[in-house]
Structure 1
Amino acid sequence: MTNTSEVDDLVLTPAVELAQRIRGRSLSPVEIVDAYLKRIDAHNTAINAYVCVLADQARTAALAAEKDVITGRLRGPLHGVPIAVKDLFDFKAGVPNTFGVKEFQAYVPAETAPHVTRLEQLGAIVLGKTNTPEFGHKATTDNRLFGPTSTPFAPGHNAGGSSGGSAAAVAAGMCALSQGSDGGGSVRIPAAMCGVVGLKPSYGLLAGIVRPDAFFTLDPFMGNGPLARSVEDCALMLDAMAGFDARDPGSVPLPEQRYRDAVLAPVAGLRVAYLPTLGGFPVAEEVRAVLDESVRALETAGVTVEMPEVTLPAPHQEITDLWMRLTGSAMVCLMEMFGDLGLDLRAVAWADLPPHLRAVADRGFALSTVENRRDQFLRTAVFDMINGVLEDYDAIVTPTTAVAGVANTEDGWTVGPDTVNGESVDPLLGWCLTHPFNYSGHPAISVPAGTSPVGLPVGMQIVGRRFRDDTVLGLAAAYERIRPWQHNYRKLFV
């Protein structure tokens, strides 16, 4: 019988090593899946990462994967590797998909989402669906249906959002890799708060097939991304997820490359712009102190770090409010799509939804065409600011979030702070430095940078030129080698 220590060793094994050992037949996918399911059973109640565990389906898939290994029919780089997927637009046929919304708890999609299908076709085994706030509308994970998800590093403090369940599952060793989605920081924010690696790839690198509105992911740029316990594991999952699909009007047919190769690429000689406030966001001193030390560590790898003078094209509150307006327009689209399916939230449950979500949606319904188009002027100014910095530098480094932790509430409406350093911020997202890069489409990764004085994880965000995801991964991996973090996961459940 497998003891607890052996299970912990197995579930904390890097995904890259799991994949190699499966191919070499020194580990069975069945053994690995069983270890993860045992870990989930032991620890999910305290963290609330999974909202649906597909134990029987995962074991069936593991048996099939084991037979394929024996017969030499490997499906791809993730063959037999257990993953988690988000409970948002990440459908799996026949499995409930709630969007984090109480009124949708009976919704069961008939088809699997194309990006989930791709992961399964390349060998990944889906262990279950992970928690998210209603429609992924905020930077914390909490809802009236399942409640809050905690960071494993501090149960009772939120995992971040909106891919909080996915990030917490990875950090807690309840999956090898997980899929998240990012429309304003929803991969990077929970990566920072759960102490894992989370990448928002360049917009267009990963195909996203949405119907009936194929252009849904444009305002702001939204897409999927990997969450992992190491940069190399993150690159492994990116290799599986990346690819052109003509059904997505934003998909870009780029030359094929193996992003895992970027992990060992030399970074000496690269020039990095350190923007501790991204030109105007308030940042807590405890976070700033961790980032100041982190960029000094990058310099030991031969990276030139400078602090150019950069100013946001508008006050940070307006930069965040732009995201609220753009997201409001996207929310209108969602409401219309669900209405066509006979799920009219405005008619049956509007007063019961979180007030912040209703406020965002109401603004979307009220926006005029003129106001919507004028918002693109400010978005363009942000885009130009970022591009201007990246004309002179290979990458930008910022904090991922302005604060190190957010305490859970008991009402299902957990949000972030409304002030940072005495300045007002929007509690949904204004305490994060992530959404400007959803206006621009640049690749951005969050890597564990350290901890606050009370032990809460702090994330460092690295942003690169468009379609230079390899540079972002290379810098992140170089930092990880200088200041390794993986040993911290083993301390979580002793």
Structure 2
Amino acid sequence: MSQTAMITATELLDAYRRRTISPVEATEAALAAITAYNPVVNAYVLVDPEGALAAAAAAERRWAAGRPLGPLDGVPMSIKDIFLTSRWPTLRGSRLIDESGPWTEDAPAVARLRESGAVFLGKTSTPEFAWKGVTDSPRYGATGNPWGPDRHAGGSSGGSAAAVGLGMGPVSIGTDGGGSVRIPASFTGTTALKPTYGLVPMYPPSPFGTLSHAGPMTRTVADAALLMDVITGFDSRDWSAMPTPQGSFTRGLTDPIAGLRIAFSPTLGYGTNDTSVEDAVRAAVDVLADAGAVVAEADPKIIEPLEAFQVLWFAAVAKVLQGHDHQLDLVDPGLVAIAEQGRGLSASQYLDATAVRMELGIELGRFHSEYDILVTPTMPIPAFSTDLQAPEGWRSSLWTTWTPYTYPFNMTQQPALSVPCGFSADGMPVGLQIVGPRHSDRTVLQVGQAFQDLTDWHTRVPNLVNRLATPEPKG
């Protein structure tokens, strides 16, 4: 495999400055990786080699003139097929959407990335309307895992995670309404941040409302911070967006974490974990303690908010399919079943679920008055077969039942980062989740960076890379 394809965005930018690698070479390497690996894992649903190479050539001219357009000029990347992207269709994994468009508008994050000079390679897969924690859809089929193509890459941003994990572009952006950047990060051994709600403007408004966030998907925390500097730019189309943060997310990223108060909750008080997952996460927590953090094992005083989250989620799914009753044969049957449940919910039930959400936020706010950071497993399980919708023998096929540690922080809108921290007994990646109070994104990233400074899990190369050779790009 081309070594250039596995270089991080931060390293690429340094190479551009030193003129040891060019944007065209980096883009050629990413496109070569797509040619080699996409037929195996099905991560991309659209690839635009000509457009990417033209954008890379323009970036190369800017770097040669000493005038890069922005912080990501010339970095090849992918975009989850949920974000509007001008000149490309946004089909959301659904056969209900007409590919003919017109497609004339960029979503806020896409607009900021384009303005920064990022090279768009194409769009990555999602389950239909990003509704679940695995990535398969009626329109495009299933997306496989870089560490085992017969295993799920997670969802709903599984295409982005698989792309990043195999060097098919070093970075991507995804959406997260209940774990959708963190579940794939955990399953694929990559890094992903769900920022504080409102930091990354969203348009059009998500049917999942204020549960839905947008965030960076990368191999390293440093790259996630780099993307945050770009995608947090203000956009008037999002009425709920926060002001653009002052200062870079890379500022203070490598500061020591000595003295930070970290609570380790292996189950949030209600979950159960695969033994090898818990072992890997406990070892990761020891790394943070060795770095000087003050670590205590402590659970927040919360009750599993599954029922309340499902009320909010199912009601949104019903809205997604509203007006399509005559086309339901085209839709993922699981999505249809959830929409049917959502249609039966009352306004009173929705308000009760919202009240549970508010109480959850209050309790976690109290918890963070004692602890700066909360760490948990990202997922209680490693990736499972693409033939299944839940782990074999699980109590339910609903994705919400096997993602107990991700969706609560969509309800509370807290920043949550997943970093790779080991492997399961059968060789699949395990993720460590790092959570902070709202608006503490820089501290969350700082803790993640400290962990990656002391470990090498984020540098591990998927087995698939060792089985398939990607040719070096031609000069």
Q: What TM-score do the two structures reach when normalised by structure 2? A: 0.93
- Whether 1:201 and 2:195 are equivalent positions in the alignment is yes
The 5 Å alignment of 1:211-250 reads 214=205, 216=207, 218-219=209-210, 221-250=211-240
Report if the CA contact (8 A) 2:229-2:249 is conserved. Answer: yes
Structure 1's 216 and 98: CA in aligned 2 closer, same or farther, altered over 3 A?
closer
Deviation of 1:308 after TM superposition, in Å, equals 2.1
What's the secondary structure of 2:402's corresponding residue? coil
Q: Is the 8 A contact 2:174 2:181 kept in 1?
A: yes
Check the 8 A contact 1:158/1:408 in 2, yes or no: yes
Distance 1:188 1:490 in 2: 18
Which of residues 337, 360, 374 is equivalent to 1:359? 337
Q: Does 1:430 align with 2:409?
A: no
Instruction: Assess, with a 3 A threshold, how the Cα gap between structure 1 residues 196 and 485 changes in structure 2: closer, same or farther.
Output: same
- Contact persistence 1:207–1:248 (CA under 8 A): yes
In structure 2, the residue matched to 1:302 is: 292
How many residue pairs end up in the alignment? 464
Whichever residue aligns with residue 459 of structure 1, its letter is G
The structure-2 alpha-carbon separation of the partners of 1:491 and 1:347, relative to structure 1 and needing over 3 Å to count, comes to closer
Checking the alignment, whether the CA contact within 8 Å between 1:87 and 1:99 is kept in structure 2 is yes
Looking at structure 2, the residues matched to 491 and 46 of structure 1 have their Cα atoms a distance apart, in angstroms, of: 13
What corresponds to 1:326 in structure 2? 312
Q: Is the 8 A contact 1:320 1:426 kept in 2?
A: no
The structural deviation recorded for 1:255 is: 4.2
Query: How far does the alpha carbon of each residue in 1:62-112 deviate from its partner, in whole angstroms, 9 at most, with x for none?
Result: 111112223333111100000100012x12222222211133362532322
* SS of alignment partner, residue 262 of structure 1: coil
Bigger mean CA deviation after superposition, 118-127 or 65-74: 65-74
Q: Is the contact between residue 389 and residue 397 of structure 2 (CA under 8 Å) also seen in structure 1?
A: no
Q: 1:339 maps to which residue?
A: none
Q: Distance in 1 between matches of 2:262 and 2:396?
A: 27
Determine which of 46, 58, 64 is the counterpart of 1:70. 64
1:23-69 Cα offsets, whole Å, 9 max, x none, are: 34332211111111111101111111111111111011111111222
Q: Which moved more, 1:65-74 or 1:294-303?
A: 65-74
Asked if 2 retains the 8 angstrom alpha-carbon contact of 1:417 and 1:427, the reply is no
Match of 1:347 in 2: 326
User: Unpaired runs of 5+ in structure 1?
Assistant: 337-343
Shift of 1:144: 1.9
Q: How big is each residue's C-alpha offset from its partner over 1:153-197, in whole Å with a ceiling of 9 and x where there is no partner? A: 112000000000000000011111011110100000000001000
What SS is found at the alignment partner of 1:480?
helix
Aligned: 1:370 with 2:344 = no
* Structure 2 residue aligned with 1:389: 367
Residues in 2 aligned to 1:491 and 1:234: alpha-carbon distance in whole angstroms: 24
Q: Secondary structure at the match of 1:259?
A: coil
Residue identity matched to 1:48: N
Matched, 1:408 2:386: yes
Aligned amino acid, residue 32 of structure 1: A
Whichever residue aligns with residue 392 of structure 1, its letter is: E
Asked if 1:84 corresponds to 2:78, the answer is yes
* Aligned AA (1:431): W
Paired residues for 1:226-305 under 5 Å:
226-253=216-243, 255-305=245-295
Does the 8 Å contact 2:300/2:364 carry over to 1?
no
**Counterpart Cα distance in 1 of 2:432 and 2:105:** 37
Residue type at the aligned position of 1:240:
V
Identify which of 384, 391, 409 aligns with 1:417: 391
Q: Does 1:484 align with 2:475?
A: no
User: What is the aligned counterpart of 2:99 among 85, 93, 106?
Assistant: 106
Pick from 149, 156, 166 the counterpart of residue 150 of structure 2. 156
- The equivalent of 1:126 in structure 2 is 120
Secondary structure of residue in 1 paired with 2:285: helix
Secondary structure of the structure 2 residue equivalent to 1:179? strand
Which shows bigger deviation, 237-246 or 161-170? 237-246
Q: Which residue of 2 aligns with 1:341?
A: none
Deviates more, 1:284-293 or 1:32-41: 284-293
Q: Is 1:187 the equivalent of 2:187?
A: no
Counterpart among 34, 39, 43 of residue 45 in structure 1? 39
**Counterpart amino acid of 2:137?**
N
Q: 2:53 matched to 1:59?
A: yes
Identity of aligned residues (%): 36
- Deviation, 1:286, is 2.1
**Contact 1:98/1:107, CA 8 A, preserved across alignment:** no
Counterpart amino acid of 2:434?
I
- The whole-number CA distance in structure 2 between the counterparts of 1:331 and 1:456 is 31
Cα deviation 1:414-434 (Å, max 9, x = unaligned): 4223765xxx35531221110
Q: Is the 8 A contact 2:420 2:432 kept in 1?
A: yes
1:139 maps to 133
Q: Is contact 1:197–1:448 with CA below 8 Å preserved after alignment?
A: yes
1:356–1:335 Cα change, 3 Å = closer
When residues 83 and 492 of structure 1 are mapped into structure 2, their CA distance, relative to the original with a 3 A threshold, is same
CA-to-aligned-CA distance 1:205-232 (integer Å, 9 cap, x gap): 111122xxx585534x212100111111
Deviates more, 1:240-249 or 1:427-436: 240-249
Q: Deviations over 1:295-327 (max 9, x none)?
A: 1111110011111243433xx3xx223222212
Per-residue CA shift, 1:441-479, capped at 9, x if unaligned?
100000001000110001010001111111101111111
* Distance in 2, Cα, partners of 1:487 & 1:202: 27
Q: Which amino acid aligns with 2:223?
A: D
Supply the distance in 1 between the matched residues of 2:70 and 2:283 (Cα, whole angstroms).
Answer: 39
RMSD, aligned CA: 1.9
Deviation, 1:347, is 1.8
Is the CA contact (8 Å cut-off) linking 1:325 and 1:360 kept in structure 2?
no
1:307 and 1:38 map into 2 onto residues whose CA distance is: 46
**C-alpha contact 2:186 2:379 (8 A) present in aligned 1:** yes
> Normalised by the size of structure 1, how large is the TM-score?
0.90
- What residue is the counterpart of 1:467 in the other structure? 439
AA matched with 1:92: T
CA distance in 2 between partners of 1:138 and 1:305 (Å): 33
Change in Cα spacing, 1:302 to 1:13, as seen in structure 2 (3 Å) is same
